Protein backbone atom coordinates (compact mmCIF):
# COMPACT_ATOMS: atom_id res chain seq x y z
CA UNK A 1 0.00 0.00 0.00
CA UNK A 2 2.86 2.37 0.75
CA UNK A 3 4.37 1.82 -2.70
CA UNK A 4 1.00 2.59 -4.31
CA UNK A 5 0.74 5.83 -2.34
CA UNK A 6 4.28 6.82 -3.31
CA UNK A 7 3.49 6.08 -6.96
CA UNK A 8 0.32 8.16 -6.79
CA UNK A 9 2.12 11.08 -5.16
CA UNK A 10 4.87 11.00 -7.80
CA UNK A 11 2.26 10.83 -10.57
CA UNK A 12 0.40 13.83 -9.19
CA UNK A 13 3.64 15.82 -8.81
CA UNK A 14 4.65 15.10 -12.41
CA UNK A 15 1.18 15.98 -13.71
CA UNK A 16 1.19 19.15 -11.63
CA UNK A 17 4.55 20.27 -13.01
CA UNK A 18 3.43 19.56 -16.58
CA UNK A 19 0.18 21.47 -15.94
CA UNK A 20 2.13 24.44 -14.54
CA UNK A 21 4.57 24.44 -17.48
CA UNK A 22 1.79 24.39 -20.07
CA UNK A 23 -0.04 27.16 -18.21
CA UNK A 24 3.11 29.29 -18.32
CA UNK A 25 3.98 28.58 -21.96
CA UNK A 26 0.52 28.68 -23.56
CA UNK A 27 0.23 32.51 -23.51
CA UNK A 28 3.57 32.77 -25.33
CA UNK A 29 2.23 30.90 -28.37
CA UNK A 30 0.48 33.23 -30.81
CA UNK A 31 -2.88 31.50 -31.25
CA UNK A 32 -6.31 32.93 -31.94
CA UNK A 33 -8.64 32.90 -28.94
CA UNK A 34 -10.86 29.97 -30.06
CA UNK A 35 -7.86 27.64 -30.44
CA UNK A 36 -6.40 28.75 -27.11
CA UNK A 37 -9.74 27.98 -25.40
CA UNK A 38 -9.95 24.57 -27.14
CA UNK A 39 -6.45 23.67 -25.93
CA UNK A 40 -7.32 24.79 -22.41
CA UNK A 41 -10.51 22.68 -22.34
CA UNK A 42 -8.63 19.63 -23.67
CA UNK A 43 -5.99 20.12 -20.96
CA UNK A 44 -8.65 20.21 -18.25
CA UNK A 45 -10.33 17.05 -19.59
CA UNK A 46 -6.99 15.22 -19.61
CA UNK A 47 -6.21 16.45 -16.09
CA UNK A 48 -9.60 15.26 -14.80
CA UNK A 49 -9.10 11.84 -16.41
CA UNK A 50 -5.68 11.51 -14.77
CA UNK A 51 -7.06 12.51 -11.36
CA UNK A 52 -9.95 10.04 -11.72
CA UNK A 53 -7.48 7.31 -12.67
CA UNK A 54 -5.38 8.06 -9.58
CA UNK A 55 -8.47 8.07 -7.33
CA UNK A 56 -9.60 4.72 -8.76
CA UNK A 57 -6.14 3.27 -8.20
CA UNK A 58 -6.23 4.47 -4.61
CA UNK A 59 -9.65 2.91 -4.10
CA UNK A 60 -8.39 -0.34 -5.61
CA UNK A 61 -5.50 -0.43 -3.16
CA UNK A 62 -7.93 0.23 -0.30
CA UNK A 63 -9.97 -2.80 -1.36
CA UNK A 64 -12.95 -0.97 -2.80
CA UNK A 65 -13.68 -2.27 -6.29
CA UNK A 66 -14.00 0.09 -9.22
CA UNK A 67 -16.85 -0.31 -11.72
CA UNK A 68 -15.96 -2.80 -14.46
CA UNK A 69 -16.84 -0.46 -17.30
CA UNK A 70 -13.89 1.78 -16.40
CA UNK A 71 -11.36 -0.95 -16.98
CA UNK A 72 -9.20 -0.20 -13.93
CA UNK A 73 -8.68 -3.06 -11.52
Count CB atoms within 10 A of the CB of residue 54: 16
**Running DSSP on this structure, what letter comes out for residue 3?**
H
In a domain, 70, yes or no: no
Cα(23)–Cα(36) distance, integer angstroms: 11
pLDDT number for residue 70: 57
Question: CB count, 10 Å around CB of 44?
Answer: 11
pLDDT of residue 7: 79
- Residue 73 inside a domain? The answer is no
Q: For residue 1, what pLDDT is reported?
A: 67
Residue 40 in domain: yes
Q: Which domain holds residue 14?
A: 2-62
> Is residue 52 one of the residues assigned to a domain?
yes
pTM of the shown model: 0.66
Convert the pLDDT of each residue in 24-73 to its tens digit.
988 888 889 888 889 889 989 988 888 888 877 777 776 766 555 555 55
Contact 4, 57 (CB under 8 A): yes
Number of domains in the chain: 1
Amino acid sequence: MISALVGIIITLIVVGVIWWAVQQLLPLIPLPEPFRRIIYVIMIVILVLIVLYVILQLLGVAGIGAPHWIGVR
